[in-house]
Amino acid sequence: MQPGTTVDSTEVVREGGKVITVSGDDVKSERRVTVHQLQHKLSFPNAVNSLVKDILAGNLRPVLEDVYESERALDALRKTETRHARGKLVVSLQ
């Protein structure tokens, strides 16, 4: 959870797009950008399952910036700390 990051995300999403966050930020919708908050509760696995179903159904299209091999996980963390990622960073454990 990185509070304060949702506003940054909404600024790079196209008009009418969606942002899904766990930041806990209270953000007003601008430019018709929809913000969905995933809650940190016991229902979190259900929320993730619902999110995966929406992705598989084509209702959501996550943007991946890069996939890092597990040996480069710290590089991925450093990239997130710059707050300049333009999409999701994935660490592959295979």
* Band of pLDDT at residue 29, cut at 50, 70 and 90: confident
Residue 49, pLDDT > 80, answer yes
Mean residue pLDDT of the chain comes to: 86
DSSP per position, 15-80:
TT-EEEE-S-------TT-EEEEPP-STTHHHHHHHHHHHHHTTS--PPEEEEEEGGGHHHHHHHH
Residue 91 — φ and ψ, nearest 5°? -105, 120
- Please report, rounded to a whole number, the percentage of residues in the chain having pLDDT higher than 70: 94
pTM beyond cutoff 0.85? no
Kind of pairing between the strands at 18-21 and 34-37:
parallel
Cβ 62 vs Cβ 89: under 8 Å: no
* Band of pLDDT at residue 40, cut at 50, 70 and 90: low
3-state DSSP assignment of residue 6: helix
Residue tagged 């809650």 (tokens): 39
* Per-residue model confidence as pLDDT tens digits over 58-87: 998 888 999 999 999 999 999 988 888 888
